[in-house]
Amino acid sequence: MKAFDCLIPLLGERLQRQSSVVLVGSHARIPLRAEYFSSIEPSAGRVVFIDSGSGDVLAGPNVCVSFIRTCVLEYEKNVRVSRSVSEYVLSIIAVKRNLDIGFQVDLFSTEGDLLRSFEFDAQDPAFALSGLRADPVSVVGAVRKLLEFELVDASIKHLSKGDIVVRDGDLDARGSLLESARLSLRTAALSKGVIVVGLSKTSRLCTDSGDSAVVAVRSIAKEGSWLYFSGGEVGFVKLNPFSQYVFRCDFFADKEQAQSAASVLALNSSDPAFLGYPYGLLDVDKTAQVSKAELAELRLRFAVKSREKFKMFESALDAHDLLNVL
C-alpha cells in the first residue's frame, strides 16, 4: 500500500522526541531520570495474587446479567500454597432517576442469595464517556474491580509486615465507591506494612511529549532486570533480564518496600510461556477466567430457565454479530 511508504518515515520522524516526565492522572508527574533505576536481584517471599473474570449471560441497552469469578492464590517461596475461588451473578438494570436514568445493581451468590445492592448514575464520569450515558455492561468492570479491591483488603488482614499482595491491573479508582475501597485498603496496607502492588500488562500512560511512557522509560533503561521508581505510587519494572517486556507497576509502599516486592516478583517471572511476567498472575488469570464454552453453557441455561423471555432486550444489540457470520 503506497500510503505506508509515506506514513512510515513520517511516524519515524514524529516519534523521535525527548520527554522529561511521565504524566499520571491530571496532576502527578514522574520524572525521567537514570537515577531512579535500581537493579533487581530475585528473592523469595510470601505473595498473594488476585484477579477476576466475567462473562455476560444477558446484555442489552437497559439490562445486563453477568457471571463473575474471583480468585486468590497464595505463593510462598515461589510455590503455590493455597487457592480460594468465589463466584457471583451480577444484575444491572436501568431505572428512572430524576430526569435521567440510573442503574440498580444487585450482586447474588450462585445459590441465589442477595449479597449487596448498589446504585449508579448513568452520567457518572467513572462509566460515561464524553458526556454519553453509560450502558449496563460498562458497570461490570467497576464491580469486578471493587470485589478485587475488597479481596486485597481482606488479604492484608491475614498477612504480615513485608508480605505482598498483587492485583492484576492498576490501583487507580474512579467513582466514590471505588475511591472509598481504595482508601480503605491503602490505609490498611501502610499501617500494617503489607506491600500492595498493581501490575498492568498494558499501559496507556504518556509522557509530556506524547510518547508512550513504557517506551520512554525503556529508552533510558540499564541492562538486566530493574525497577524504575521515584516515589509516589506508580513505577515500572522489567522482571527478567532476558524479557522484552516492561510493565507499569503501582505501589502502596515506600521505595525500600517497592524494591523488595520487585525482587520477589522477579523470582516468580522466569516461566518461558511469558518471560518476565509473574507466573502467579498467569495462574490466577487462568483460574478466574470465564471460558467461551462455560459462558455458552451459562447462556443456554439462562435462556432455558427464562424461556427466552428476555431475548427481545438482546436483539437491540446483536444484529451486528449476525452480520459477522454472514
Say how far residue 291 (Cα) sits from the centre of its chain.
18
Q: What is the pLDDT of residue 60?
A: 87
Average pLDDT over residues 8-13: 70
Give backbone dihedrals phi and psi of 292, rounded to 5 degrees, phi first. Answer: -60, -40
The C-alpha angle with vertex 75 and arms to 72 and 78, in degrees rounded to 5, equals 150
- Is residue 18, in this structure, part of any structural domain at all? no
**Coil, strand or helix at 165:** strand
- Whether the predicted pLDDT of 215 surpasses 50: yes
Q: What is the pLDDT of residue 12?
A: 67
Please report, for the domain that includes residue 215, its CATH number.
Answer: 3.30.2170
- What is the rounded CA–CA span in Å between residue 87 and residue 68? 6
Domain count, the chain: 1
What digits encode the pLDDT tens for the residues 26-45? 678 999 999 999 999 999 99
> Between the CA atoms of 142, 143, 144 and 147, what dihedral angle is there, to the nearest 10 degrees?
120
Average pLDDT over residues 206-223: 89
- Is residue 116, in this structure, part of any structural domain at all? no
- Expressed as residue numbers, the domain containing 304 is 34-52+71-84+141-318
**Coil, strand or helix at 124:** coil
CA 121, 25, 250, 159 torsion-angle sign: negative
Average pLDDT over residues 116-133: 79
Q: With contact defined as beta carbons under 8 Å apart, do 106 and 117 qualify? A: yes
Query: Taking the model in full, what pTM does it have?
Result: 0.89
- What is the rounded CA–CA span in Å between residue 218 and residue 238? 9
What digits encode the pLDDT tens for the residues 265-298? 999 999 999 999 999 999 999 999 999 999 999 9
Q: Which of 43-47, 96-100, 249-253, 297-301 has the weakest average pLDDT?
A: 96-100
- Whether the predicted pLDDT of 63 surpasses 60: yes
- What is the rounded CA–CA span in Å between residue 315 and residue 3? 39
User: What is the chain's mean pLDDT, rounded?
Assistant: 89
- Is residue 115, in this structure, part of any structural domain at all? no
- Is residue 192, in this structure, part of any structural domain at all? yes
Q: What is the pLDDT of residue 323?
A: 42
> Which one has a higher pLDDT value, 186 or 4?
186
Confidence band for 131, pLDDT divided at 50, 70 and 90 = low
- Is residue 211, in this structure, part of any structural domain at all? yes
- What is the rounded CA–CA span in Å between residue 126 and residue 134? 9
